[in-house]
Amino acid sequence: MKDVEVVTIKSIELKNPILIEGLPGVGHVGKLVAEYLIEELEAQKILEIYSPHFPPQVVVNPDGCVRMVKNEIFAYTSDDVELLILIGDHQSNTNEGHYLLTETFIDIAKQYNVKRIYTLGGYGIGQLVENPRVIGAVNDISLVEEMKSYGVEFSENEPGGGIIGVSGLMLAFGAMHGIEAVCLMGVTSGYLVDPRSAQAVLRILREILGIEIDMDALEKRGKEMETIVARLKEMEQMQGETEPGTTIAPEDALDYIR
């Protein structure tokens, strides 16, 4: 077995698509957005990526069928925009695997003549977030102003400590190969799967891409989340002695916890 194996599901030709990455991470923000895009746009799968650097397990579908842990790339084309969307079950489980997989993703981007990459993630701040914000990082200074015009925030100390995993590495590898790349991070607690943060990211991404996306389903999930957050706060207030920043999860919230 090779370190990374790419299986072509469907051959397509693209002029200069935009690549969007939404692998699992903090608050599953990127994953929520990327999967939502694929569903709403009815994007088509073109590639599957396998690697012994993924966790040594399989995913069990609700119907009882298992499948290998994998990453996948979907394609969507319209008159206005060409998109490649990278999603997956897991990121690498080994140190070198992160580098090897990112290298593969950038190779793929080059094959399809990708002109720009957006990697999506969450930025965990350790406490519940009142007002969803999206912070950014780029691989070329010229992108900062452009992103600010869409409402992406840049501040000196966020994110502190760097960006871990593929969302960060793709910017660095992209720069090496002359591909512009932006990381959009929804600010989130880091404790819960966060559809509200995903909503904030999607709203900005939608504007950047200039595409129409019905956000109803994601908004509905976000509202459920708000109800839970409200209850979490009530519980915190009732417990006067709770340390700042700690969170108590009511049973309803458990579905959102990863």
- List CB contacts of 156: < 8 A, sequence separation 6 or more: none
Smaller CB separation from a second copy, 163 or 228: 163
Smaller CB separation from a second copy, 37 or 108: 108
Smaller CB separation from a second copy, 41 or 185: 185
CB of 147 to a second copy, least distance (A): 8
Q: What are phi and psi of 191, to 5 degrees?
A: -95, -30
State the sign of the Cα–Cα–Cα–Cα dihedral 172, 41, 61, 198.
Answer: positive
d(CA 111, CA 2): 20
CB of 219 to a second copy, least distance (A): 25
CB of 193 to a second copy, least distance (A): 14
Smaller CB separation from a second copy, 1 or 80: 1
Q: What are phi and psi of 59, to 5 degrees?
A: -95, 135
**Angle at CA 161, nearest 5°, toward 158 and 166?**
95
Angle between helical axes of 195-209 and 29-41 (0-180°, round to 10):
50
Instruction: By CB under 8 A, name the binding residues for a second copy.
Output: 1, 52-53, 55-60, 62-69, 92-96, 98-100, 103, 136-141, 144, 154, 156-157, 159, 162-165, 168-169, 171-173, 175-176, 183
| Cis amide bond preceding 159, omega within 30 | yes
d(CA 37, CA 20): 10
**Amino acid found at 66:** V
Smaller CB separation from a second copy, 95 or 131: 95
Smaller CB separation from a second copy, 59 or 81: 59
Cα dihedral value 175, 176, 179, 184, nearest 10: -30
CB of 90 to a second copy, least distance (A): 9
Residue keyed to tokens 């504007």: 207
CB of 239 to a second copy, least distance (A): 19
Which residues make beta-bridge pairs with 72?
48, 87
CB of 37 to a second copy, least distance (A): 23
CB of 45 to a second copy, least distance (A): 17
Smaller CB separation from a second copy, 50 or 215: 50
